[in-house]
């Protein structure tokens, strides 16, 4: 009776409708995992071509997931893909995505653009809507500084590729209410992620630790202490990492790596994040890693 209702009150408030603003690399992945979990999703992007691209990539990825889940059962694969896909709507108008339980922002990494977006959403969304940013490098607090519903705001930091990476960093700001925090944790779990809780500090947990580690791997190569291949083999076989630091940097993109390191240096002042001449040289030569065909390694295009 009453006690049971009370104890399950968090599930009663469970997030069932979600809007993702920004349908790029991260936004399309976040939309996919939410749709797969049975939620109704709206993707908003200012660029309608990108919305079409997002839909295409989501369909391809859903097929891959469906094949894994329902090995060989074509009927089940097709209905999984179709049903998940049909839960996703797309629009270029923010208003079309305002009235939902949760809005996750995954637009360009620019403070003023993100602030402007949340300020507008704060005006047009109902009072119960929770807001979250997927920012990697900007202060979550700063992004939400102009909104009134600070208790209903926090960070949800996913990892690329979203459908594959199992971690979600849930960022609880000082102003995030316990109820909002619980709802974000519960939602993360519902989309298949393992959630960790962290404060609004530069790099949160993963990037704060990964930065110094990968920077030192690059410096090690720069000093000629060991070859790229041997550094990667060492960390895979000696430390149990699935990828070595240099192949991981090539995978993420060396331009992104440079950006993240300089941002962390600016925010923390920690010299481990200082510019690395070898990394800057590769980037200036257009060697961005896997996506450009060359980074620390060469790739077939
Ligand atoms: P992206 O460039 O692939 O996608 C951004 C999308 O946002 C584009 O489709 C763009 O048209 C759209 N957009 C820009 N301004 C907009 C606005 N005002 N309203 C609606 N849509 C708008 O970028 P990506 O890589 O998906 O990153 C998005 C966010 O996720 C950034 O904050 C980034 O720091 C964060 N992030 C990125 C990760 C990565 O590995 N790429 C990992 C974790 C977080």
Determine whether the shortest distance from the Cβ of 122 to ligand 1 is under 6 A: no
Please write the tens of the pLDDT for every residue from 158-217: 999 999 999 999 999 999 999 999 999 999 999 999 999 999 999 999 999 999 999 999
Record the pTM. 0.93
CA of 108 to the centre of ligand 1 (A): 4
Give the per-residue pLDDT at 54.
97
Of 158, 162, 203, 197, residue with least CA distance to 180: 197
Of 105, 169, 247, 294, the catalytic one is 169
Kindly report the number of other CB atoms within 10 A of residue 50's CB atom: 18
Q: What residues does CATH 3.40.50.720 cover in the chain?
A: 2-198
Please state whether beta strands 153-157 and 167-171 pair in parallel, antiparallel, or not at all (unpaired): antiparallel
Dist. CA 154 → ligand 1 center (Å)? 17
> CA–CA separation, 166 vs 127, rounded Å?
31
* Interval 83-110: pLDDT, tens: 999 999 999 999 999 999 999 999 999 9
CA–CA distance, 71 with 299 (Å, rounded to integer):
31
Tell me what pLDDT residue 136 has.
95
Backbone angles phi, psi at 282, to 5 degrees: -60, -45
- Pocket test of ligand 1: the residue of 19, 20, 26 to mutate, having most ligand atoms within 8 Å of its CB, is 26
Rounded to whole angstroms, how far apart are CA atoms 187 and 202?
A: 24
Task: Tell me how crowded residue 174 is: count the other CB atoms within 10 A of its CB.
Answer: 8
Cβ neighbors of 121 (< 8 A, separation 6 or more) are: 21, 94, 98, 103, 129, 131, 147
Task: Report H helices in the chain.
Answer: 2-7, 9-12, 25-36, 48-69, 74-86, 111-124, 140-143, 178-190, 206-223, 228-239, 245-252, 254-268, 277-284
Q: What ipTM is given for this predicted complex?
A: 0.99
Ligand 1 in reach of 44 Cβ (< 6 A): yes
Largest CA distance in the chain: 70
Q: Residue 206: name the closest of 149, 139, 157 by CA.
A: 157
Q: Which residues of the chain have pLDDT under 70?
A: 1-13
How many angstroms separate the CA atoms of 250 and 214, rounded? 11
DSSP 8-state assignment for residue 97? G
Looking at residue 291, the DSSP 8-state letter turns out to be G
Residue positions forming the annotated binding site for NAD(+): 22-27, 45, 109, 114, 136, 160, 291
Q: Which residues make up the CATH 1.10.1040.10 domain(s) of the chain?
A: 207-291
Architecture of domain 2-198: 3-Layer(aba) Sandwich (3.40)
Indicate the angle between helix axes 228-239 and 245-252, nearest 10 degrees. Answer: 110
Rg (CA), the chain: 21
The pair of structure tokens assigned to 296 is 């620390």
Tell me, yes or no, if 128 is annotated catalytic: no
207-291 domain in CATH 1.10.1040.10? yes
Residues in the annotated binding site: 22-27, 45, 109, 114, 136, 160, 291
Residue count (the chain): 301
Beta sheet of 40-44, edge-to-edge order: 88-91, 40-44, 17-21, 102-105, 130-133, 153-157, 167-171, 194-198
**Residues whose CB falls within 8 Å of the CB of residue 78, separated by 6 or more in sequence, listed in order:** 66
29 lines ligand 1 (CB under 6 A): no
Active-site annotation holds for 136: yes
């Amino acid at each position: 009776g009453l006690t049971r209702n009370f104890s399950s009150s968090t599930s009663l408030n469970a997030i069932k409708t979600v809007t993702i603003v920004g349908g790029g690399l991260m936004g399309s992945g976040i939309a996919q995992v939410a749709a797969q979990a049975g939620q109704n999703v709206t993707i908003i992007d200012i660029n309608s071509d990108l919305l079409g691209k997002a839909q295409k990539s989501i369909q391809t990825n859903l097929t891959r997931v469906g094949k894994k889940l329902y090995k060989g059962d074509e009927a089940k694969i097709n209905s999984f893909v179709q049903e998940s896909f049909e839960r996703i709507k797309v629009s270029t108008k923010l208003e079309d995505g305002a009235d939902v339980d949760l809005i996750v922002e995954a637009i360009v990494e620019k403070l003023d653009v993100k602030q402007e977006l949340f300020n507008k959403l704060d005006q047009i969304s109902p009072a119960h809507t929770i807001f979250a940013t997927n920012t990697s490098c900007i202060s979550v607090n700063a992004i939400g500084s102009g909104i009134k519903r600070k208790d209903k705001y926090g960070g949800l930091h996913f990892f690329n590729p979203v459908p594959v990476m199992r971690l979600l960093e849930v960022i609880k700001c000082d102003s995030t209410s316990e109820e909002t925090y619980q709802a974000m944790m519960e939602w993360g779990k519902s989309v298949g992620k393992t959630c960790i809780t962290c404060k609004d500090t530069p790099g949160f947990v993963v990037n704060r630790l990964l930065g110094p580690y990968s920077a030192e791997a690059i410096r090690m190569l720069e000093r000629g202490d060991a070859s790229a291949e041997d550094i990667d083999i060492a960390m895979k076989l000696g430390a149990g990492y699935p990828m070595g630091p240099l192949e991981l940097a090539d995978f993420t993109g060396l331009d992104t790596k440079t950006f993240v390191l300089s941002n962390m240096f600016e925010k923390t002042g920690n010299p481990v994040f200082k510019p690395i001449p070898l990394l800057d040289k590769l980037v200036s030569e257009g060697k961005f890693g896997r996506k450009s065909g060359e980074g620390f390694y060469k790739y077939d295009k």
